[in-house]
Structure 1
Amino acid sequence: MNPCLNRAIYAVALLLLCWQGAAQAAEAFPVELRAITQGGGQAQIHAYGRLEATPQKLYFLTDGIMQSLKVVDGQQVKKYSLLATLDPFFIKKEIEQHRQEVAFSRKELSRMQALSSHEVASKKRFDTAQIQLARAQNALQQAQERLKRHNLRAPASGRILHRHLDHAQPITTATPIFDFKADHEPWLVTLRIAAHHMALVDAKVPVKLHFPTHPHEDVSGQVRHSALSQGGGDGHYALKVAVVEKRVFFRAGLQVQATLGRRVADSKGIYPIPLAALSAIHGGQADLYVLKKDQQQVTKLRVAFHRLEGTVAQLYTDLSPYSHYVYRGQHQLRDGVKVRILTPNPKP
């Protein structure tokens, strides 16, 4: 093809592209605006979670064969109550053997003492007899301590939450026997809360806890601590709430609905925005197009929100520099374009 013709086609295409860009820049997209208002958010934060028992797992301190289980799920026990036993057959035979060795060593020591008094036995043989008796007594004491480990007792007054075994079987020191909750340890509730909510929780305000499966068991709780939930990528926190009132729960895992107090000072920074005004909604965030007063150029913001009643979102992103947001027509917009107002300043 002729090089001159190529250059001519390229120049015409460039001219058309520039003309199209200028036309788009001059275009004002039709939109409907609403004024940005603060406040109107909920006085509480609602969250969901599960009941935990702050349980400790109870184990035997020695290996053996399970002989008997003395308690059942949900049973209240006192401190040092016998919970389970291992078969003591072998350890008792060992203790009996050590007792015989102690008795023999004592007789031998007495014999060496008598011979030494008549200068028949040397001092070395007498010292050896003393050492053998001490070793036999130490072995007997250790065996008796191991016998105590064949009994599993309650470390404190509390409740058996779960029994892991139902029949006699071999166990090791790594085999859990019971889930146990001490009376002096509180029940805990773990709530799942979004990061932008976590910053608004007032830890000094009591938490109202409701159990759907126990409608008459509403209790109060107190915020303990929070930590980023496992995985951490979803931006949620695991909030631990201790149950303040004494209640009897026979198992952990119950579903909980919680109402937490919000810091009053933060309620002024809440902006109620209809969900229809948001776009690219994902993971508690969305895009919102806003304008400053007496301007026609929009700004696209990535905002954090909490959905309410399926139609309104509470925004926690600071919108104070702006006066209006685009309610309709935002799907055709880009950051920085000009808009043409269809409905001037309608009430939200």
Structure 2
Amino acid sequence: MLTSFKNSLILGLIITTVFACGKKKTDKKTIADNETVAVKLVDVSNANSTEPIKASGLISSLHEARLSFKTGGIIEKIFVKEGQNIVKGQLLATLNLTEINAQVQQSQENVSKIERDLKRINALYRDSVATLEQVQNLTTALSVAKQGLQIAQYNQGYSKIYAPTNGVVVKRMMNEGELASSGSPVFFVNAAGANDWVVKVGITDKDWTRLKLGDKAEISLDAFPDMKFLANVTTLSQGADQASGLYQAELKISTQGKKMATGLFAKALIYPSIKYQYASVPVDAIIEGNGDQAFVYVIENGKAKRVSLSIAYVNGQQAFIREGLSGINQVVTDGSAYLVEGTKVKVVQ
């Protein structure tokens, strides 16, 4: 019996709700057909404007490098630590040179031997004992041996890592005693100059087409929440990143004397110099917005007409319209919430 009572109560609530909804629709229809709603109009503005591009990225040095050994070998000594300041030309690390020194010595001995052989063959050739071909072969062998010595000496020189510029050691990837492969990064360093910092951000292809080198930007850093830093677009990539599909832009930041570090998170607001002409209306005139789609009401023959819009962007209290207001000079602001299609309206000042 209790179950029957509950079912009856639920059914009653449903009927009441349907009736109420039906009555509300009837009232709205009555307003649209029989009453006049007072409204205010506002002019549609047309001006050159552009939507700022919002992006985020990380602070990095304009001059950064991953330093490695030219040849592989055991790391003999590392002279710097992470976070340490370095100067150009400073020795940072060296390999155990036992093997590479032996290769240089071997190449030197080989050159000396061939030089002696060539000297002896030249003497025999003058006495018509050796042939011209023997002289030529030894001459070629000496040239090859000297080139081999140059290679060994070159590798010997690049078995040490020197600082390419003044800066700081951001990260040390390897330690003493480890086997370093040729080209494997041992240090990540960057320049420490005040004008060497950039923000690297990813932007869509649509935004990429709107930017030019030199466009201005405003940077916000979590590390300095109360400051805004000025920046300029200095680099625009000519190809999209395969992983993200975004194009990279570099924004050179004016640090205003603040200490910067690689990896600081930054938010950028970029102002493209390429401008578009948009119609704009107050945000109060927009109704039923969903994403970039919305509606406004206009007056046609003394009645409200609902017009669909595509919104480009909103800036403060103004909505900039991509399409939908062609040929329309005024839209309804005050009173739009009480309108439906076909409502009779009275324009008041």
TM-score range (shorter-chain normalised) is 0.5 to 0.7
| Paired position in structure 2 for 1:220 | 230
Alpha-carbon distance, 1:96 to partner: 1.6
- Cα-to-partner distance string for 1:294-324 (whole Å, 9 max, x where unaligned): 453322223233375xxx5633435463322
Q: Give, in whole Å, the separation in 2 of the partners of 1:147 and 1:175.
A: 17
| Paired position in structure 2 for 1:169 | 178
Alpha-carbon distance, 1:110 to partner: 3.8
Do residues 255 (structure 1) and 260 (structure 2) align? no
| Paired position in structure 1 for 2:146 | 137
8 Å contact kept, 2:87–2:167: yes
| Paired position in structure 2 for 1:339 | 342
Q: Which moved more, 1:137-146 or 1:262-271?
A: 262-271
- Cα-to-partner distance string for 1:321-342 (whole Å, 9 max, x where unaligned): 3322584368xx7xxxx33157
Which residue identity does 1:72 align to in structure 2? K
How many pairs align? 308
Which has the larger strand fraction? 2
8 Å contact kept, 2:100–2:155: yes
8 Å contact kept, 1:32–1:328: no
Do residues 298 (structure 1) and 306 (structure 2) align? yes
Which residue identity does 2:199 align to in structure 1? V
- Cα-to-partner distance string for 1:256-288 (whole Å, 9 max, x where unaligned): 24455587987984433149723322xxx1222
Which residue identity does 1:161 align to in structure 2? V
TM-score, normalised with respect to structure 2: 0.65
8 Å contact kept, 2:77–2:94: yes
Task: Assess, with a 3 A threshold, how the Cα gap between structure 1 residues 165 and 209 changes in structure 2: closer, same or farther.
Answer: same
- Deviating above 6 A after TM superposition, structure 1's stretches of 4 or more consecutive aligned residues are 41-44, 192-205, 231-234, 262-268
Task: Assess, with a 3 A threshold, how the Cα gap between structure 1 residues 207 and 301 changes in structure 2: closer, same or farther.
Answer: closer
Task: Assess, with a 3 A threshold, how the Cα gap between structure 1 residues 250 and 257 changes in structure 2: closer, same or farther.
Answer: closer
Task: Assess, with a 3 A threshold, how the Cα gap between structure 1 residues 166 and 120 changes in structure 2: closer, same or farther.
Answer: closer
| Paired position in structure 1 for 2:327 | 321
Task: Assess, with a 3 A threshold, how the Cα gap between structure 1 residues 70 and 304 changes in structure 2: closer, same or farther.
Answer: same
Q: Give, in whole Å, the separation in 2 of the partners of 1:28 and 1:121.
A: 122
Do residues 70 (structure 1) and 79 (structure 2) align? yes
Alpha-carbon distance, 1:79 to partner: 3.3
Q: Which runs of 5+ in 2 are unaligned?
A: 1-28
8 Å contact kept, 1:62–1:173: yes
Q: What percent identity do the matched residue pairs reach?
A: 17
Task: Assess, with a 3 A threshold, how the Cα gap between structure 1 residues 38 and 324 changes in structure 2: closer, same or farther.
Answer: closer
Q: Which moved more, 1:112-121 or 1:90-99?
A: 112-121
RMSD: 4.8
Task: Assess, with a 3 A threshold, how the Cα gap between structure 1 residues 268 and 101 changes in structure 2: closer, same or farther.
Answer: closer
Alpha-carbon distance, 1:144 to partner: 0.9
8 Å contact kept, 1:288–1:325: no
Within-5 A mapping of 1:118-137: 121=130, 123-137=132-146
| Paired position in structure 1 for 2:61 | 53
Which residue identity does 2:308 align to in structure 1? K
Q: Which runs of 5+ in 1 are unaligned?
A: 1-26
| Paired position in structure 2 for 1:86 | 95
Q: For 2:41, which of 30, 35, 41 is the aligned residue?
A: 35
